[in-house]
Amino acid sequence: MTNGFEDPEGTGRAPTAALMDARTDRDSEARRWLLGATDDPRTAVRQWGNAGVALARCGLQFSAARLDGPLVWAAAGTEDSGVVADYLAAELGGGPVFADAAPYRYYALMPAAAATWREWPNLLDGRDDAAQLLSDDHFLGVPAPWIHAADKARSWWIHPYGEEGHLCSAEGVAHIVVCGRLALARRAEEGEG
């Protein structure tokens, strides 16, 4: 026992301090990685400080899938944020995902090379704007790494960038899009939506 709390790992710190250190380390790694996708890291840091989001260039560190909220909610079968977060983690292998509240959209960060996946033209065939691939010719406003859902910001990380190179899979994104479209079509046929 140290300072009145159980310390099984012998760190000499309270468990909450150890958890905060882990989050800070993860946020620092995410910060370095995301800044690698910006044209000017100093400007990006200022943007994060002023607006909570900074512009990053897709195609360098990542490509992204923009998924409208209703599409994701239909695929998940709920609008409950906790259930949707778990669903996205399962479908996307725990890769980085953030949300934007105006309008409600989810952004799944995938490897930059995912933009060349041969199935994208079939999946994103222009039938709706509920899903879009963002690659070389796009900039994306990414939230600061330390902004998480509990912070109630306009944009926040649902699943932050964690381990180097661990991003969402194109196949997982495709599965969400297909499931969401099927669920929305089923609702429309049944007169629900």
For residue 4, what is the enclosing H or E element? none
Report how far residue 6's alpha carbon sits from residue 16's, in angstroms, rounded to the nearest whole number.
12
Q: CA-to-CA distance for 106 and 168, rounded, in angstroms? A: 12
Give the least confident one: 8-17, 76-85, 113-122: 8-17
Higher pLDDT, 192 or 99: 99
Instruction: State what percent of residues in the chain have pLDDT above 70.
Output: 78
pLDDT value at residue 6:
39
Beta strands in 25-103 (DSSP E): 53-57, 63-68, 97-101
Q: What's the confidence (pLDDT) of residue 177? A: 94
pLDDT in tens, 138-156: 999 999 999 987 666 889 9
Cα dihedral value 159, 130, 39, 155, nearest 10: -40
Per-residue pLDDT at 102 exceeds 90: no
Q: Quote the pTM value.
A: 0.83
Give per-residue pLDDT as tens, 118-132.
777 666 656 678 898
Query: Cα–Cα distance between 106 and 115 in angstroms, integer?
Result: 17
DSSP state of 116: G
Beta strands in 7-161 (DSSP E): 53-57, 63-68, 97-101, 104-110, 131-134, 139-143, 155-159
